[in-house]
A and B are shown apart, each in its own frame.
Chain A
Amino acid sequence: MNKKVGNLLLASCMLVGVLSACSSNSNGNTAPTNAPSQNSSTETAGFADYSGGFEKQVTLDIPVYERAFEGWNVSDNYYTRWVQSEFGDKYNIKVNFVPINRSNEVQDYQQLLAAGKAPDIIFHYDYPQAMAYYGQEVMQEINWDEIANYAPTYWENTKEMAEQYGVVEDKNVFFFAQRPDFSNWVSIIRKDWVEKVGMKVEDITSEAKYNEVLAKWKEAGLGVGSATLPANVYNFNIGKFDWPLDTNEYQLYRDLSVADFSTPYTEEWLKNFNYQYQNGLIDQEFYIRTEQKSEFVAGRTGTYGEYITSGTDIFSSVLANNPDAEFAVLPVYTDDPEGPVRANWPFGFIMGINHTSTNEERIAAWMYLEWLSQPENLFKFQNGVEGQNYNLDENGIPVKIEGYDGESRLSNNNNKDYWALVIESPSYGTYEETLEALKSFWTPVGYEYIVEDMLKYQEMQKPYLVTDPLFIKPIESLNEYKADLNNLFQELALSVILAPEAEFDAKYAEAKKKYLDAGFQEIIDEKQAAIDAGLVR
């Protein structure tokens, strides 16, 4: 026979063979397990009791971020073995920790889901992405009562959030991890520069005063203020919204993922930005910078913001290049009109159950969350073994023993990726006690006053905290236009900022129209309809 024909025949056989294997696999995924509520409604007695364990061993796949910490095996270490012996063995559950790449996690999840290898819990930190997972139909519907039954402690802690934010299109889909309200974002300013021009940091109580300081800096030839164009995360004009809030307007325009270019608040923000730029008060090439740190460290700009930790190198780096530098925290603008301040979401991880998980696997997941929510288990996960990883001080706060390298050592970020399923930050008792402990994580030696001021200003802003509105129905036009609008926002904002002051109004009007036409108007219309239908929190 002609070898070439035989070749082709062989190839097509292989093709058919592997194709059918592939499709049968994905066929197996096509039937989503039906809402468990249907099952439990037939069990009039309630839920099956698994406190003695499952009859047949259940495999529970729990996702964990893989950060490739040196010497740390995410799936097999002291703590995973501890979970297995303390929890898994007790209930006849085999607990598998599935590594998920921290960067590229969405792609990782999608590949695992397509191959049928995804863990039983699917998580993400951002609500839009969680909604995207929901849109891909990879999450199954959940019964709140089931969670309440198998994970009472966990449910007690998180049920409000689930009921508020976890219902999408009348289906219970998401459950959450707690997120105690702590923030370590701080805005730092060069105190020595401020004083050199005859002012005091505490006096910077309004936007206008801040601009005054910048003008004085420029005159004295010290440097400029830093500036950055928001990208993909929009929080820049929240303070300018009316206060007290016009709820409808707030719900309509306030969105972390797409900028409200057309509002007067953005216009105000842009006007100020334009003023600062055109008068040389801010970094003239801010738009080509990929980060702000280098300019601040080099001593060319006088302001900088970051999430402060005890290991930060910002102060030492600045001092290395500018030995006379002094630092202070930029105050809250008490003289400016009042406005809302963005409150963080009350939740950390947004989670759903894999649509291919069996009833037993799902129940095992609730049981795990319950076990994890027990204070003693959480404490051990977060701190380790007493006497080895930590010692308790007189207030009962654990103090880390430096350099412990034994068997029970924690991962480089304190096992966060394991216990983040129930809570975002370590808890040391009451809010105040936890705050004290966290302060020690945040404070570089010698800069306690920075952290103190940061917390002081946070206190002042507390009355104004408002959470973003959350639509519990997918906004189609948002998904459609978000990527392009994000790109367009930057282009348009820059075209307005870089234009001479006299042309501002014309440029802004032109840009506003462009933005609305590019899809923003559609988004607004859809959102308004959703608001009217009461589909927003």
Chain B
Amino acid sequence: MKSLLEKLTAIPGPSGYENRIRSAIQAEIEKYTDDFNIDGLGNLIAHKRSLSSDSKNILLITHMDEIGFIVTNKDKSGYARFTNLGKVPPASCPGRQVEFLDGDRGLIGSSPDLKNEDFVQLEDMFIDFGMIDKQKLPVKIGDIAVFAPSFADIGDCLVSKAMDGRVGATILIEILRRINKSPNEITMIFSVQKQVGLRGSTAVAIDNIPDMAIAIDVTPELKHPNQASNGVKLGHGPGILLKSGRYIPKASVKNALEHAANSENIACQHVIRENDESEAAVIQKSYAGINAGGLCVPCRYQHTAAEMVNMDDISNTVELLYTVIMEPNLFTES
């Protein structure tokens, strides 16, 4: 799984331009799924049918897109100005290398001499292409980039850009590899444009309303000393979503996840977050309502070029989801 994760994080897939990462995911899942289709926004929807006629139906959704940058201006001094695609904290940027979709590399400028105020907003920053002739900028307005890839092992953890956007896909691919015959119908959605406001999950059409839907994503490990919410920690297992912004998942899904965890002795954590959004909220209120919930992998330094996750958390999330999927009644009667 680690090499799959490394491979997927290296492929660029900023919000709105996910085709390359989608092709890679498609290549991984083709032989394990019964059918799949791609919708008008680029969402990849795959099905694994069950063998029994009275099976339950579970929907798993994770987003493929990562945060990115888009050029807004080429200024007179020969640098490119940019803005964000998705949440890009300004502090994440100075000194970082970026990679454009056509392969060009750039460097987000920084300076130890300038005061902090000079780099407060993204609009104060610029991308340097290292051109001696400053008029020969290789980019134009609207060109799109992501953080340059940089996968690494650090201690017990893995670090890379785009963990947020690829960890979920890795988990779902691994699950598909493991399942031979499934007692339940599985729909997997690899969604687009989550980082810019959950647009892919809003647009995705669901033909067969599932009995349960789970959104898989990373969740930030908060590090404020006075935090009131139950802090999520790397290495302490998958996080079961209790609240995300205004959204509250359905108790039945929450309970099913806890049951599955207990039955396999998988240690879990609870996730309560004040500001972040979850695709589970979108799925829950679609059509006539769908029982939905969230399962999260803890992630430190989310939305930076070096997001940190723990491989055991990822494996345990796979175990937990696999247990739920393979249970004939999806733990819904417990």
Q: Are A and B interaction partners?
A: no
Which residues of A are at the interface with B, using a C-beta cutoff of 8 A?
none
